[in-house]
Structure 1
């Protein structure tokens, strides 16, 4: 079915033709007629199938009639990340070049003043992240009572990022009569609850099985027994040995690892840029633009780049870390093989990633092939890492001497300490039964300067215990004498030193006669 049979306006069809598209994708062919009919839509399709155009094209047709008012946008599109929001804005600019629509972007990293000035002029299409949108609402600079169409894109990513309470709040602020469009690649139970609460009799469209991967993506697992420098070595080998590598995205689980891998690849001569959530908006957009234009061949990123980014020519995806959530694996490898192209996805797996790998294979319903048939059983386990690494680096860190200290010393101790029938050391028995207690007076017999060294004293036989008469005990103190007042105690003829007493205590005390 061509685009001209979907009910789109002539202006939209002209822009689509200029963009070079003739046939819609399955999700577009099924969703566009229902959106034009003002029905609530729940669209489920794997990433890279054109979900963005599935709601952008019919929205442009519907917005040809009407006019926006100040601080009251007509449509609202919620995106989980700044990059996705900026990408949707680019789609409106590309397909809406024949329309005179005001499009505003509310994301973090941009001053409130510039965004507020756009809202004051009136906005037909408002694209925002939930946090910045609610900031404008709380400041009283934005009213959502005029929303006609509400679009929630990448709803499962909203769930992962903790935006569901914000989504519920936004849905209560918009009119009850609005049209709601939900688009997502996966459908967890929490999203299903949100759909049943805020969508009215929606049309559910499944262009492909939820949580499935594209058939044109070659998926391979790469076994790696170590988790530090070995993973970076393995990553560089994969990049150098990849066939038909035009560009590639390297995904890491943590932002710290993004910086480590980025610097490591730079030191080894790779043309690479980094992208993660802690970067400022200008740096993020600059890195993404360098990768899109081909100025940078590799992009090291966190999961902020795993959802919805439309970079059609990505040939390879490298999972430096196996994703903790199985749904993230589908979104990561979906960055390649887009628009019918072929792609390749490599995932480095360590012994700590066994559970995550099992969850991924259970979600996609198929086992993933191991590269060259080498599984984790062929990689050294984590327990053997320290000993093997010490042997390999014996010249650098004293690995051989360390092995001698760790191996020879316990054997020598076992030889010097024969055991009895019960397994106890004979030395420990003799020490407890025969070792006499040393008397402190024996130590004083030898002058301090003539004492033997500590080791010789410890190995020498203990001195015999003296058996002479014990010294007489000290006479007990008379408690009566000890408790006498100071005036009654016997004292010598020397005067007491009273220099430390203040003067008022030395004044004589007058006692009245009774």
Structure 2
């Protein structure tokens, strides 16, 4: 078995590696470090959690141990898709370069430009950056890439998913043609092949595992979930997640819960906290300081549940994650491999459980095709959430139309039950209301002994309103003085409401 001491690394680098507790390289490290030390381009493909970061940091430190950086001209460049992964790579450099006098700078969003400019002005040997922030510094005239000797693209396929490929191509054009290029990724999509064919020269291809394969130390399972009602899917799904966590008991020391959308990340985190679970969200819309604080708490063990979007799925190294819960089935099959790769790292055992609803079955089938095996089904701990087909049909047929709301009387008599046939009229008055409108009656005499005030008002009213007022007066007489135009008040209408507008105006 190969040892790190046999890989021709700098003795100071070897000392740091031994102090970190490693003496045997992983397969990707054993295959990538020798050609990288020879100055060759490297294309490394390995499943997540196999130590790809050390595969390029160790040879880079050895190669850069001699020489000195100049102001604004870094000697090496590492591109990462997310802030968290870039920060993790920087931590690895700090560990392995502790006995080598190398300087580094971390260029990520959410951090002051001024602080980053000060580091660049002094000159750095290793520049670790996300593509967007790197180009921001370049366009502001604060950075030159003509001195780059070694360039690394980490998680290249994630760069593709996040739309960074145009930025990557532009950055490549800003670096010297004679640079050494190292590509590392868990999967190798056809688009990435085009990039490697364009910018890598005769690379050493190291593929230590079948593309997009999951670690054998991870126990996988899926719960096929169907909500009882569409409007209760989110609530029942969160209840199922809590039950899955409870069923794991003490074996679930900590876990990452993955959601597809940032809004769901916040909702699930709030729900878990409401029910007494120690949980916190992390996604791209949060401030960098808050994201860093949350990750540090999860690594240190003060936070038990990390609710995350796919920003946390790639490359984050938290060695002792016992469980991964996929609250949503990922839209891309490759993302499933990266998500569950957060557990079972460095030979440890891990467990990954996923909730699959009917709308996710297409994506779930794609995952099983990618893995080339079936994911074991797990019984729903809540039982069958959905009613039988006949019950569902009965509920659907008996459910009233949402757009036609039953009327409620003012007296609180309850709702009118919808029926196929019209209800029988309760009185002659109601029947008169239901009947077609009769033609307007002839005008009444100007003076009526039983309603002198109304007659006087009619004389004062404008001429064009005469027929309307007569109609109103006749309807009031038919109902004992109540105005037939007042509709929807039920059988117990207060008398003051029954007074017509004309009567109030006359008073």
TM-score exceeds 0.5: yes
Counterpart in the other structure of 2:457: none
TM-superposed deviation, 1:386: 11
User: Are residues 1:303 and 2:310 paired?
Assistant: yes
SS in 1 for 2:221: strand
Kept in 1: contact 2:78–2:129 (CA 8 A): yes
- CA contact 1:216–1:337 (8 Å) conserved in 2: yes
1:314-333 to structure 2, matched below 5 A, reads 314-333=321-340
Aligned equivalents of 1:169, 1:30: Cα separation in 2 = 29
For residues 462-482 of structure 1, give each alpha carbon's deviation from its aligned partner in whole angstroms, at most 9, with x where no partner exists: xxxxxxxxxxxxxxxxxxxxx
What does residue 500 of structure 1 align with?
A: none
Please tell me whether residue 448 in structure 1 is matched to residue 475 in structure 2. yes
Q: Verify the 8 A CA contact 2:43 2:203 in the aligned structure 1.
A: yes
195 and 347 in structure 1: CA distance in 2 versus 1, 3 angstrom threshold: same
Q: Do 1:78 and 1:153's aligned partners in 2 also have CA atoms closer than 8 Å?
A: yes
Q: Structure 1 residue 354: deviation in Å? A: 1.1
- 1:174 Cα offset (Å): 0.4
1:409 equivalent in alignment to 2:436: no
SS of equivalent residue, structure 1 residue 270 = coil
1:240 to 237, 242, 246: 246
- The equivalent of 2:268 in structure 1 is 261
1:88 corresponds to which residue?
A: 89
The offset of 1:26, in angstroms, is: 0.5
Q: CA deviation at 1:22?
A: 1.3
Residue 338 of structure 1: aligned partner: 345
Would you say 1:16 and 2:17 are equivalent positions? yes
Correspondence for 1:503: none
- Aligned in 2, Cα 1:266/1:116: closer, same or farther, shift over 3 Å? same
Instruction: State the shift of 1:60 in Å.
Output: 0.8
Please give the alpha-carbon distance, in whole angstroms, between the structure 1 residues aligned to 2:54 and 2:383: 42
2 CA distance for matches of 1:281 and 1:304?
Answer: 12
C-alpha change, 1:179 and 1:411, in structure 2 (3 Å) is same
Alpha-carbon separation, structure 1, partners of 2:307 and 2:381: 26
**Residue in 1 that maps onto 2:55:** 54
Q: Deviations over 1:230-288 (max 9, x none)?
A: 01101111111115111100111111111111111111111122211111111110000
Tell me, in whole angstroms, the C-alpha distance in 1 between the residues paired with 2:182 and 2:388: 48
- 1:479 is aligned to none
Of the structure 1 ranges 365-374 and 38-47, higher mean CA displacement relative to structure 2 is found in 365-374
| Correspondence 1:94-173 to 2 at 5 A | 94-173=95-174
CA change 1:259–1:5 in 2 (3 A) is same
CA–CA distance in structure 2, aligned partners of residues 341 and 268 of structure 1? 30
Correspondence for 2:431: none
In the other structure, the counterpart of 1:279 is 286
Report the alpha carbon displacement of residue 385 of structure 1 after superposing the two structures with TM.
10
The alpha-carbon distance between structure 1 residues 380 and 87, as it changes in their structure 2 partners (threshold 3 A), is farther
Q: Distance in 1 between matches of 2:167 and 2:244?
A: 41
1:447 aligns to what SS in structure 2? Answer: helix
1:344 partner SS: strand
Q: CA deviation at 1:224?
A: 2.1
Seen in structure 2, the aligned counterparts of structure 1 residues 377 and 233 have a Cα distance that, compared at 3 Å, is closer
- The whole-number CA distance in structure 2 between the counterparts of 1:48 and 1:223 is 28
> Does the Cα contact within 8 Å between 2:322 and 2:351 map onto a contact in 1?
yes
Q: Answer yes or no: is the 8 Å Cα contact 1:221–1:371 preserved in 2.
A: yes
2:51 paired with 1:36: no
Residue 448 of structure 1: CA displacement? Answer: 3.1
**Alignment partner of 2:329: what SS?**
coil
Q: Measured at CA, do residues 437 and 363 of structure 1 come closer, stay the same or move farther in structure 2, by a change above 3 Å?
A: same
Query: C-alpha distance in 1, partners of 2:358/2:387?
Result: 9
The answer (yes or no) to whether the contact 1:225–1:381 under 8 Å persists in 2 is no
Could you say which structure has the larger radius of gyration? 1
Aligned residue for 1:45?
Answer: 46
1:412 Cα deviation from its structure 2 partner: 4.4
Contact persistence 1:77–1:127 (CA under 8 A): yes
Instruction: Go from structure 1 to structure 2 and tell me whether the alpha carbon gap of 1:219 and 1:436 turns closer, same or farther (over 3 Å shift).
Output: closer
Q: How many residues align?
A: 425
Q: Secondary structure at the match of 1:242?
A: helix
- Report the RMSD for the aligned CA atoms in angstroms: 2.9
Structure 1 CA distance for aligned equivalents of residues 365 and 330 of structure 2: 11
Give the gaps of 5 or more residues in structure 2.
Answer: 228-232, 400-405, 407-413, 425-434, 443-466, 488-507
Cα distance, 1:437 vs structure 2: 8.9
- CA separation in 1, counterparts of 2:478 and 2:12? 105
Q: Following the alignment from structure 1 to structure 2, what is the Cα–Cα distance between the partners of residues 170 and 147?
A: 11
Q: 1:190 corresponds to which residue? A: 191
Do 2:157 and 2:189's aligned partners in 1 also have CA atoms closer than 8 Å?
yes
C-alpha separation in 1, matches of 2:198 and 2:394: 54
In 2, Cα distance between equivalents of 1:371 and 1:134: 47
Closer/same/farther in 2, CA of residues 293 and 454 from structure 1, 3 Å limit: same
- Whole-Å separation in 2 of the counterparts to 1:43 and 1:12: 21
Aligned to 1:461: none
Cα shift at 1:6: 1.3
Q: How far off its partner does 1:440 sit?
A: 3.5
Determine if contact 2:225/2:380 at 8 Å carries over to the other structure. no
Matching residue of 1:229: 235
2:361 is aligned, of 354, 363, 383, to 354
Specify whether residues 385 and 308 from structure 1 end up closer, same or farther in structure 2 by C-alpha distance, changes over 3 A only. farther
Counterpart of 2:177? 176
